Amino acid sequence: MSDSIRFILNGEDITLSSLRPTETLLDFLRLQRRLTGTKEGCAEGDCGACTVLVGRLIDGGLYYESVNACIRFVGSLHATHVVTVEHLAAQNGTLHPVQQAMVDCHGSQCGFCTPGFIMSLYGLWLSTEKPSRAQIEKSLQGNLCRCTGYEPIVKAAEQVSQKRPSALFDPLEKTRADIIARLWAMQGGDTIEIAEGADRLIVPGSVAALAQVLADEPKATVVAGSTDVGLWVTKQMRRLNPVVFINHLTDLQRISVEDDGLSIGAGVTYSRAFAVIAEKIPAFANLINRIGGEQVRNMGTIGGNIANGSPIGDTPPPLIALGATVKLRSTAGTRSLPLEDFFIEYGKQDRHPGEFVEGIFVPYPASDAHFAVYKISKRRDEDISAACGAFHLSLDTAGNVQDIRIAFGGMAGTPKRARSVEAELIGKPWTEATVTAARDAFDSDYTPLSDWRASAEYRQLTAKNLLIRFYLETAGAPQELKRFATAEA
């Protein structure tokens, strides 16, 4: 057992044996270290003003990713390297090429968002030698600027990648070997526990230790990426105690490509899952690129998206449509169940006291099946779904519906299958007449709510029209049906 969190901040080793479980990295940087280059805009992961890089060892390599310091807890930083904007310029004041490009391209006006943009662009600069326009835009999805209109910032990113200076100029490239050695020395299998008054934070040394901690403390708050839990603290001012951090547990971060599907550990972040999912289930990967911004995808996990039980989480609908199973673990052992059965009702999941999500298994769509996911939100990027629907269809050789699984988020108190619609379709020819007749069965499956994202009527009509859209995409697009879909969309 250890009693301190250790990490590197820019060049300095930090050891903390006194720490509130929900101390955010942003408060730590600004209030305790006076590193005020990192700004607070929204305190909810949306604006990117607080962006810093966090480096960690993965399979022996050191990887830096942009994160939102406002919703990242210090307790989750053990054995990492935190890099803030103050670390970029040389000691003689010479700006880093990324900073200089922002100056040259007039990428800053009032300047409030600028450190956050710099850190996102720096993360891209470190990971991608010649980024495409799409890669640049993706890296900036989680940064908002109200002054520049973005074009000068994108130009700065293009400029710096064209005239890429020697890696020797870069503070992180120069110190890479040293940082790796220091992070190695900080790692270890010990469980860390810090008590601050009555509050406790626990960093289990292994998955078995996590199971034991939760057996002893079944009401503890598990924190993976903190992209949900962070907001409970910064927006709802909730006091959480004890808090158990799991984002460092490498045994929860494995993805295995199996013959019939993907096995994804609960601690795998969206960014880390992306490449494998893009190769195996491309339609699902397109959805992942629309979850939050880059910083949120670098922290958030699919395990957290399931465990939070939210009716508007984006990954459960496609996972349910694909027939995914969730694996739960406790000191009593492990059990697997179909993901759709995990969600019992709003706020209630089939999770026994002391259990945690260990991983999910996602079967591949059959090679002759059709699979599609549609996210409907007010903005394309960085927005929560009003509704998210997934369709998984198999046809027999005669063109009849052999099997179809349809699941929606945003339409009920849980992510849920549209069983009445499915029943209307199965065994019938996959035709315009069949889907048109089946669409009203959504009224039996769902009674959505009206809220500020969408009205109940909008959601219900959206679900019906998405069925039509799925039909059009899978069966060609007869003119008649095209008009019908457009008129109501």
Ligand X SMILES: Cc1cc2nc3c(=O)[nH]c(=O)nc-3n(C[C@H](O)[C@H](O)[C@H](O)COP(=O)(O)OP(=O)(O)OC[C@H]3O[C@@H](n4cnc5c(N)ncnc54)[C@H](O)[C@@H]3O)c2cc1C
Least distance to ligand X from the beta carbon of 209, Å?
14
Nearer to ligand X, 184 or 346 (CB): 346
* 183 to 222: interface string for ligand X, x by CB under 6 A: --------------------------------------xx
109 lies in the site for ligand FES, by CB under 6 A: yes
Alpha carbon 284 to chain centroid, angstroms: 13
Q: How far is CA 65 from CA 59, 68, 286, 315, 383, in A?
A: 15, 10, 20, 22, 21
* 317 to 356: interface string for ligand X, x by CB under 6 A: ---------------------------------------x
Out of 147, 195, 276, 461, the only residue in the binding site for ligand FES (CB under 6 A) is: 147
Q: How far is CA 155 from CA 88, 133, 195, 381, in A?
A: 20, 9, 48, 20
Out of 21, 152, 225, 311, the only residue in the binding site for ligand X (CB under 6 A) is: 225
Out of 97, 304, 318, 354, the only residue in the binding site for ligand X (CB under 6 A) is: 304
Which residues in 59-78 contact ligand X (CB under 6 A)?
A: 71
Which part of the chain contacts ligand FES (CB under 6 A), choosing from 17-25, 103-111, 163-171, 470-478?
A: 103-111
Out of 23, 27, 40, 314, the only residue in the binding site for ligand FES (CB under 6 A) is: 40
Nearer to ligand FES, 26 or 252 (CB): 26
159 lies in the site for ligand X, by CB under 6 A: no
Least distance to ligand FES from the beta carbon of 210, Å?
28
Which part of the chain contacts ligand FES (CB under 6 A), choosing from 104-112, 164-172, 246-254, 345-353?
A: 104-112
The item of ligand FES, ligand X, none sharing an interface with residue 292, based on CB under 5 to 8 Å by kind, is ligand X
The item of ligand X, ligand FES, none sharing an interface with residue 357, based on CB under 5 to 8 Å by kind, is ligand X
Separation of alpha carbons 151 and 482, rounded Å: 36
42 lies in the site for ligand FES, by CB under 6 A: yes
Separation of alpha carbons 71 and 230, rounded Å: 4
Out of 84, 120, 148, 460, the only residue in the binding site for ligand FES (CB under 6 A) is: 148
Which residues in 251-270 contact ligand X (CB under 6 A)?
A: 266
The item of ligand X, ligand FES, none sharing an interface with residue 112, based on CB under 5 to 8 Å by kind, is ligand FES
* 68 to 97: interface string for ligand FES, x by CB under 6 A: x-x---------------------------
Out of 108, 226, 349, 434, the only residue in the binding site for ligand X (CB under 6 A) is: 226
Separation of alpha carbons 246 and 235, rounded Å: 22
Out of 6, 24, 25, 48, the only residue in the binding site for ligand FES (CB under 6 A) is: 48
Backbone phi, psi, residue 91, to 5°: -60, -25
303 lies in the site for ligand X, by CB under 6 A: yes
For 34, other C-beta atoms within 10 Å of its C-beta total 8
For 127, other C-beta atoms within 10 Å of its C-beta total 14
The item of ligand X, ligand FES, none sharing an interface with residue 172, based on CB under 5 to 8 Å by kind, is none
Which part of the chain contacts ligand FES (CB under 6 A), choosing from 91-99, 105-113, 185-193, 410-418?
A: 105-113
Which residues in 31-60 contact ligand X (CB under 6 A)?
A: 44-46
314 lies in the site for ligand X, by CB under 6 A: yes
106 lies in the site for ligand FES, by CB under 6 A: no
Contacts to ligand FES by CB under 6 A: 40-43, 45-50, 68, 70, 108-114, 145-148
Contacts to ligand X by CB under 6 A: 44-46, 71, 221-229, 246, 266, 291-292, 296, 299-301, 303-305, 307-308, 313-314, 356-357, 382, 384
